[in-house]
C-alpha cells in the first residue's frame, strides 16, 4: 500500500478497534477535520435503531441487542490517556502504522462518543463523560472538544441531560442524527420503534440549551436519488426546530461510504449531494456542509 492509499484507508475505514483496546480508537475524520479519538461505550452493539445503511450492522451481520455491559471506567481512562499521548507525541503516525504518512502536525480535534451503537444507551454515559472531561482538562488544550454522536432517541432523558451539561462545559457539541423529513422515510431508514415525533422533540429541546449540529445521511435507493418531497419535508422540519427555539450550529449532509446491510442502499453522487446541500443552505439559512463518500 503506498502512502496515499494508506491515508485513504485510514480515513475511509474508520476502524473502531485499536490494538487491544476495548473502548478507545483514533480516527482521521473528514467531518471533524483532524484526529478524532473515538470512545465506544457500546462495544457489544446496542442501539434502538437498525439503520439501513449502518456499517456496524453490515459488518456484524445481525440486529442490535439490548445493552448489558458495564463500562470499566479505569480501563477507559487508561486507554484514553494512552491514545492521547501517541496522538500528541506523533508516534501514532510512525512508519508502518495504519496512520503512517499522515502529517504529524495534524490537530487533535475531539474526543467523540460514538462507536458500535448509541452511546446514551449506556447507563454509564455520564460517568464516562466525566472521565473523558477530566483527561481532556489534564492532557489537552482547551480547543479539543468533547463530541456526542447520537441518534437523538434519549437526549431528553434526565440521566443523559446531566451528561450533556458536563460534555458541553468541556467545549462540547452534540451531533444529532436526523435522516428524514417524514415519519414514513424515518421508519424506512431507522427501522426503529421510537416515534419520529420523539426525535424532533428531543432535537428541538436539546438545541434550545446546548450547542447542536445535525447530521443527515442521504443515499440512493435502487439507484434513485432522495425524493424531492422528502427533501422539502426535511427542510420544513429544520425550519420548525428553529421556529420552536432550537439553535442549529450547522448541518452536515453525508452519504454512505462503506458497506451497508441493504444492497439497494448505495452512495449518492457528489453532484446530487452538493445540489441538495445548496438547496438546504439557501432555504434554511444555516451553514450546510456536504461530505462525499470518496
Per rule CB under 6 A, is residue 198 in the interface with ligand SF4? Answer: no
Q: Does 219 bind ligand SF4 (CB under 6 A)?
A: no
Q: Which stretch binds ligand SF4 (CB under 6 A): 51-59, 91-99, 125-133, 252-260?
A: 51-59
Residue 118 engages ligand SF4 in binding (rule: CB under 6 A): yes
- Helix, strand, coil percentages (3-state) for the chain, rounded to 5, are 40, 20, 40
Phi then psi dihedrals of residue 177, to 5 deg: -80, 130
Q: Does 254 bind ligand SF4 (CB under 6 A)?
A: no
Cβ neighbours of residue 237 closer than 8 Å, sequence gap 6 or more: 178, 181, 200
Among 10, 35, 51, 280, binds ligand SF4 (CB under 6 A): 51
Among positions 140-179, residues that touch ligand SF4 (CB under 6 A) are: 151
Number of residues that bind ligand SF4 (CB under 6 A): 10
3-state secondary structure of 255: coil
Q: Assess contact for 40 and 115: CB atoms under 8 A.
A: yes
- Alpha-carbon span 41 to 116, nearest angstrom: 8
Residue selected from 38, 117, 119, 181 as contacting ligand SF4 according to rule CB under 6 A = 117
Judged by CB under 6 A, which stretch of 49-57, 68-76, 104-112, 119-127 contacts ligand SF4? 49-57
- What is the CA angle 28-144-10, rounded to 5? 5
Look at residue 60 and give its three-state secondary structure. Answer: helix
Please report how close the Cβ of residue 51 comes to ligand SF4 at its closest, in angstroms: 3
Which chain residues interact with ligand SF4 by CB under 6 A? 47, 49-51, 54, 56-57, 117-118, 151
Amino acid at each position: 500500500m503506498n502512502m496515499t492509499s494508506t491515508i485513504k484507508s485510514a480515513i475511509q475505514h474508520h476502524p473502531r478497534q485499536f490494538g487491544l483496546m476495548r473502548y478507545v480508537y483514533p480516527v482521521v475524520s473528514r467531518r471533524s477535520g483532524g484526529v478524532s479519538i473515538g470512545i465506544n461505550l457500546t462495544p457489544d452493539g446496542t442501539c434502538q435503531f437498525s439503520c439501513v445503511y449502518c456499517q456496524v450492522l453490515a459488518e456484524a451481520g445481525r440486529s442490535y441487542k439490548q445493552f448489558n455491559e458495564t463500562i470499566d471506567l479505569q480501563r477507559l481512562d487508561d486507554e484514553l490517556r494512552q491514545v492521547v499521548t501517541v496522538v500528541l507525541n506523533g508516534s501514532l503516525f510512525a512508519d508502518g502504522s495504519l496512520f503512517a504518512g499522515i502529517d504529524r502536525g495534524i490537530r487533535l480535534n475531539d474526543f467523540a462518543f460514538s462507536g458500535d451503537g448509541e452511546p446514551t444507551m449506556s447507563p454509564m454515559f455520564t460517568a464516562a463523560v466525566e472521565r473523558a472531561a477530566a483527561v481532556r482538562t489534564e492532557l489537552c488544550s482547551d480547543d479539543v472538544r468533547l463530541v456526542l454522536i447520537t441518534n437523538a432517541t434519549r437526549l431528553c432523558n434526565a440521566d443523559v441531560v446531566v451528561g450533556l451539561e458536563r460534555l458541553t462545559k468541556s467545549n462540547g457539541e452534540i451531533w444529532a442524527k436526523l435522516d428524514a423529513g417524514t415519519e414514513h422515510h424515518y421508519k424506512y431508514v431507522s427501522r426503529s420503534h421510537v416515534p419520529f415525533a420523539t426525535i424532533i422533540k428531543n432535537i428541538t429541546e436539546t438545541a434550545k440549551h446546548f450547542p447542536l449540529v445535525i447530521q443527515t445521511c442521504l443515499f440512493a435507493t435502487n439507484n434513485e436519488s432522495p425524493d424531492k418531497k422528502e427533501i422539502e419535508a426535511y427542510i420544513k422540519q429544520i425550519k420548525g426546530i428553529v421556529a420552536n427555539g432550537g439553535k442549529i450550529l450547522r448541518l452536515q449532509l453525508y452519504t454512505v461510504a462503506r458497506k451497508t446491510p441493504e444492497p439497494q442502499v448505495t452512495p449518492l453522487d457528489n453532484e446530487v449531494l452538493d445540489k441538495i446541500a445548496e438547496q438546504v443552505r439557501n432555504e434554511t439559512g444555516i451553514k450546510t456542509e456536504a461530505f462525499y463518500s470518496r
